[in-house]
Chain A
Amino acid sequence: MTAPTSPWRHAANGVLLTAILAVAALVLHTTPSREVQQSAIVVPGVVGEPTSGRNIRATVHSVSVAESVTAGNGWAGSTPGVWVVVDLTVQALVVDEKTALGTAVLRVGDVSFRASIRPQNGTVAENRLATGVPLSGPLMFEVPTDIVARTAAKTATLEFATDSDPRVDSLLVVPVDLTALVVQPDLEVAFPEWGAR
């Protein structure tokens, strides 16, 4: 015959069980969602200063808005909206194999725009990057005319990453105020070239 279990033992078991349940609940309710687990690692930046992530360094030199843009290759596509033109220097830092400027996004509130590839080789969008050799050139974003005057355009952001899917890698985020810019009728931009500005 075993000795009867002491009431303290019972109480201790109860406390232990409650503690295990509490820890389990804590783990269950604080586990990051899949979106958080896979989200991009945001590197904030400012216009005019270089911003560096894992494998990308970019500098936004200037942002302008124009009704019509002529690229360095002679391209002058028209749009029913306006062009937001970004002068950018970008390079890879670690590896340049399969590395391109895959993400170049202008985000205004909930709406996002991808840098246009209509100018073909007149833009640095989707261009291959080189490790340690900066590439400078324009990005053209085709946006509706009214978007640059929206309240959200005050806190618009430019986002850059080396892959079209920027999850679990550095995402450079540079805030820009589009409402402060004057819409120019014409804008001529240079052909993309290797070298810093």
Chain B
Amino acid sequence: MTNRGVRGSRRQRARLLFDRLPTKWLITSVSAVLLALSAVVGGLDDAPVVPVPVIEAGDSHAGTELTIVVNGALLIDAFPEQSIVPDEGNRLLVVRATVENTTAEPRRLADGSTADTDSIGIAGIPGLADGEPPERILVIDDGSDRAVVQPGVPVELAYLWEVAGDAVGEGDPVTVNLMDRDFISEGRLTYGGLYGAPLVSATLELALGDVGAGANE
């Protein structure tokens, strides 16, 4: 009886104390506990950023949809046979890459005029925004544009950017970024997949070559 009475009064006292506790204290202490718990997973530090893998020219990089081998980067005056002639004083920066589609359906590659599958971007060129899509993508074999990569058939492509003639020269470094699509979900109101901004899945550094007018190539 007495025991129970003491326990009862203790409980009552605790209850009273709890009732008198200001709500602010309660919120603060709960926050403090949560904050302390977060220390287990790194506290308030920035989440670690997984570094983008750096590869070498000629290395094969498998993305989610495309496997890409970058073969080189060079400067050329123009491609008159394809009627691709840059503005006065400008030159073309060409990245050559072999692209294989590892999905089960054809993929149209995104150039400046379409927003399809992103494959290659460049960075570190003065006067050209990083991640600027290529102006044109040509199939090297026959010079046709509007590149579509059929599943399982690798194709060598030339990605073209127009750059100022004095912005870059032979031997200058260029960063080539291999892009990957960021699939969000199947659309609910719209048909087909929804994609976020393209991700850089690998990067490599190349020295630019220069073939002048390119007549001897």
Q: Which chain B residues lie closer than 8 Å to A42 at the CB level? A: none
A117 x B148 contact (CB < 8 A): yes
Interface residues of B in 33-65 (CB under 8 A from A): none
B142 x A116 contact (CB < 8 A): no
Interface residues of A in 105-125 (CB under 8 A from B): 110-114, 116-120
Question: CA–CA, A79 to B156, complex, Å?
Answer: 10
B104 x A80 contact (CB < 8 A): no
Binds B, one of A24-32, A127-135, A142-150, A188-196: A142-150
Q: What is the chain A residue whose CB lies nearest that of B149? A: A142
Q: Which chain A residues lie closer than 8 Å to B173 at the CB level? A: none
A117 x B104 contact (CB < 8 A): no
Q: Is A54 an interface residue (CB 8 A)?
A: no
A117 x B106 contact (CB < 8 A): no
Of the candidates A38, A120, A142, the one whose C-beta lies within 8 Å of that of B191 is A38
Size band of the A side of the interface? 20 to 34
B139 x A110 contact (CB < 8 A): no
A118 x B144 contact (CB < 8 A): yes
Per DSSP, chain B at the interface is: loop
A116 x B148 contact (CB < 8 A): yes
Q: Is A154 an interface residue (CB 8 A)?
A: no
A110 x B104 contact (CB < 8 A): yes
Number of A-B contacts (CB under 8 A): 53
B144 x A117 contact (CB < 8 A): yes
Q: Is B153 an interface residue (CB 8 A)?
A: yes
Per DSSP, chain A at the interface is: loop
A112 x B142 contact (CB < 8 A): no
Q: Mark A15-56, 1 if CB is under 8 A from B, else 0.
A: 000000000000000000000001000000000000000000
Question: CA–CA, A81 to B106, complex, Å?
Answer: 15
B191 x A81 contact (CB < 8 A): no
Q: Is A184 an interface residue (CB 8 A)?
A: no
Q: Is B146 an interface residue (CB 8 A)?
A: yes
Q: Is B166 an interface residue (CB 8 A)?
A: no
Question: CA–CA, A137 to B191, complex, Å?
Answer: 32
Question: CA–CA, A116 to B139, complex, Å?
Answer: 12
Q: Is A78 an interface residue (CB 8 A)?
A: yes
Question: CA–CA, A85 to B106, complex, Å?
Answer: 17
A111 x B104 contact (CB < 8 A): yes
Interface centre among B104, B141, B150, B154 (most CB of A within 10 A): B150
Q: Which chain A residues lie closer than 8 Å to B198 at the CB level? A: none
Question: CA–CA, A143 to B191, complex, Å?
Answer: 27
Q: Which chain B residues lie closer than 8 Å to A117 at the CB level? A: 144, 146, 148
Name A residues whose Cβ lies closer than 8 Å to a Cβ of B. Answer: 38, 75-81, 110-114, 116-120, 141-144, 147, 167
Name B residues whose Cβ lies closer than 8 Å to a Cβ of A. Answer: 104-106, 139, 141-142, 144, 146, 148, 150-155, 191
Q: List 26 A-B contacts (CB under 8 A).
A: A38-B191, A76-B142, A77-B139, A77-B141, A77-B142, A79-B141, A79-B153, A81-B150, A110-B104, A111-B104, A112-B106, A113-B106, A113-B150, A113-B151, A114-B148, A116-B150, A117-B144, A117-B148, A118-B139, A118-B141, A118-B142, A143-B150, A144-B151, A144-B152, A147-B152, A167-B191
